[in-house]
Structure 1
C-alpha cells in the first residue's frame, strides 16, 4: 500500500485514476476546490492549490509516497507545489501534454515529418522559466497552454527534494459524456448529420490515447522508478481523415470536408504541422500500449450517443 495524493482528480481520467488507486488498496488523498467529492474512503482536502499558505496549512503533517498532479498549468503553480510538497513526498508525477512539442508554440529542434517525436525534443532541465509573465490571466494562459506546461515541467525538474516525472499525454478520447472536451462527439455529430468538417488542405497524423489507458499509465507511473518526461500514446498515428473514416463507417454517412490552407483554424485534430509523439521510452520502461484502431470504434460508438460541446 502506498500513500498517494492526487491534485485534481475530479473528472475524466483523473477521476478514474483515483478510483483505481483506491480499489488497489492505496491510501488516497484528493486535493481540489471541492466541486466534486472523491469516492467514499478517499481523504479529501478542499483547498485552492494556488494559495500557498492555505495549501501548506491543509497538508499539515501529511506525507506521501507519491503525488500525482493532474492540474498544473503554469510555472507559478509548479513552484508553489514544489515548495509545499518539499519533504512531504518521495515522488511527484505531473500530467503534461503532447502540445509541448507543437512547433507553432516555441522554437524547437526540427523533427523530420514521419519520425515520431522523442522526449528529448523538449528538455525541461534546460527550458527557460519566466515567472513574471501574466500566468494568472485566463486568456493569456489559454493562449500559452503549451508554454505553461513546458515551464511547469522545468520548475519541478529543478526543484529537487523528490523524484520528478512528467507524463506527456496524447489527445485523450473515449468515455462518451465523460470526455469533457466533446471533440469526438463533435465529429460524430457532424458526420452523422452530414455537416462539413473543416480540415487543412494537407493534414498530418497525430496520436491519441484512450482515457482508461492513460489512467492505467498514470497508475503505473506511481510505482515505476523512471524520472523525466515520458510520452503516452497508443500505437498507430491517425490523421483527421482517417479518424473521420472510422466515424463515418459507424454513422453510415460519408464525411463532408471543407478545406482551408495551412495556418488557418480548422476542426480539432486537423494538424498541419508535425509533432506526433514516440512512445518508445514508455515501452522500454515496461508499459504496453494498445493500438488506436482497437479501441477507437468503441469510443466512436459512445460518442454517437453523446451531445457535443460547442467547438470549431
Structure 2
C-alpha cells in the first residue's frame, strides 16, 4: 500500500484513476476545489491549488509516496506545487499532453512525417521558463496551453526534492458523456446528421488513447521508477479520414468531407503538421498499449447512444 495524493481527480480519467488506486489498496487523498466528492474512503482536501499558503495549510503534516497532478497547466502552478510537496513526497507524476510537440506552438526540432515523435524533442531540463507571463489570465492560458504545459514540466523537473515524471497523453477518447472535450461527439453528430467535416488537403495522422487505458498507465506510473517525460498513446495512428471511416461504419452513414482553404480552420483531429508521438519508451519500460482500431468502435458506439454534446 502507498499513500498517494491526486491533485484534481474529479472527472474523466482522473476520477477513474482515483477509483483504481483505491481498488489497488492504496491510501488516497484527493486535492481539489470541492466541486465533486471523491468515492467513500478517499480523503478529500478542499483547497485552491494555486494558493501556496492555503495549500500548505490544507496539507498539514501529511506526507505521500506519490503525487499525481492532473491539473497543472502553468509554470506558476508548478512552482507552487514544487514548494508545497518538496518535503512531502518521494515521487511526483504530472499529466501532460501531446500538444507540447505541436510545431505550431513553438520552435521545435523537425521530425519527418511518418517518424513517431520521441520524448527528447521537448526536454524539460533545457526548456526556458517565463514566470512573468500572464499565466493567471484564463484567455492567455487557454491560448498558450502547450507552452504552459512545457514550462510546468520544466519547473517540476528542476525543482528537486522528489523524483519527477511527466505523462504526455495523446488525444483522449471514450466514455460517452464523460468525454469532456466533446470532440468525438462532434464527429459522431456531424456524420450522423450528414454534415460536412472540414479537413486539410493533406491531413496527417495523430495518436489517441482510451480514457481507461490512460488511467491504467497513470496507475502503473505510480509504482514505476522512470523519471522524465513519457509518451502515452495507443498503437495505430489515424488521420482524420481513418477516424471518420470508423465512425461512419458505426453510424451507418457516409462521411462528407470538405477540404479547407489555406489558413482556414479544420475540424478537430485534422492536422496539417506532424507530431504523432512514439510510445516506444513506455513499452520498453513494460507498459503494453492497445490498438486504437480495437477500442475506437466501442467508444463511437458509446457516443452514438449518449446525449448530444456541444460542438467543438
Q: Which TM-score tier does this pair reach, normalised by the shorter chain?
A: over 0.9
CA distance in 2 between counterparts of 1:145 and 1:215 reads 22
TM-score, normalised via structure 2 length: 0.99
Counterparts in 2 of 1:217-256, with a 5 A limit? 217-256=217-256
Match of 1:289 in 2: 289
Q: After superposition, give the CA deviation of every residue in 1:186-217 in whole Å (9 maximum; x if it has no partner).
A: 11111011011111111000000000000000
Q: Which runs of 5+ in 2 are unaligned?
A: none
- How far has the Cα of 1:261 moved from its partner? 3.1
Match of 1:118 in 2: 118
Match of 1:82 in 2: 82
CA distance in 1 between counterparts of 2:25 and 2:271 reads 41
Contact 2:185 2:311 in 1 (8 A): no
Match of 1:16 in 2: 16
When residues 202 and 308 of structure 1 are mapped into structure 2, their CA distance, relative to the original with a 3 A threshold, is farther
Match of 1:265 in 2: 265
Match of 1:150 in 2: 150
Q: After superposition, give the CA deviation of every residue in 1:130-149 in whole Å (9 maximum; x if it has no partner).
A: 00000000000010000000
Contact 1:204 1:273 in 2 (8 A): yes
Counterparts in 2 of 1:39-78, with a 5 A limit? 39-78=39-78
CA distance in 1 between counterparts of 2:250 and 2:224 reads 39
SS of the equivalent of 1:304 reads helix
Q: After superposition, give the CA deviation of every residue in 1:126-174 in whole Å (9 maximum; x if it has no partner).
A: 0000000000000000100000000000000000000000000000000
CA distance in 1 between counterparts of 2:305 and 2:198 reads 22
Are 2:109 and 1:109 equivalent residues in the alignment? yes
SS of the equivalent of 2:93 reads strand
Contact 1:169 1:232 in 2 (8 A): yes
CA distance in 2 between counterparts of 1:275 and 1:308 reads 30
SS of the equivalent of 1:135 reads coil
Are 2:127 and 1:127 equivalent residues in the alignment? yes
CA distance in 2 between counterparts of 1:216 and 1:262 reads 40
Aligned residues: 312
Contact 2:19 2:39 in 1 (8 A): yes
CA distance in 2 between counterparts of 1:299 and 1:263 reads 31
CA distance in 2 between counterparts of 1:301 and 1:273 reads 29
CA distance in 1 between counterparts of 2:134 and 2:260 reads 32
Match of 2:185 in 1: 185
SS of the equivalent of 2:305 reads coil
Match of 2:4 in 1: 4
- How far has the Cα of 1:262 moved from its partner? 4.7
Match of 1:311 in 2: 311
Contact 2:101 2:122 in 1 (8 A): yes
CA distance in 1 between counterparts of 2:70 and 2:20 reads 15
Q: Which runs of 5+ in 1 are unaligned?
A: none
Contact 1:263 1:272 in 2 (8 A): no
CA distance in 1 between counterparts of 2:153 and 2:271 reads 24
Match of 2:167 in 1: 167
Contact 2:172 2:209 in 1 (8 A): yes
Match of 1:141 in 2: 141
Contact 1:74 1:149 in 2 (8 A): yes
CA distance in 2 between counterparts of 1:181 and 1:126 reads 31
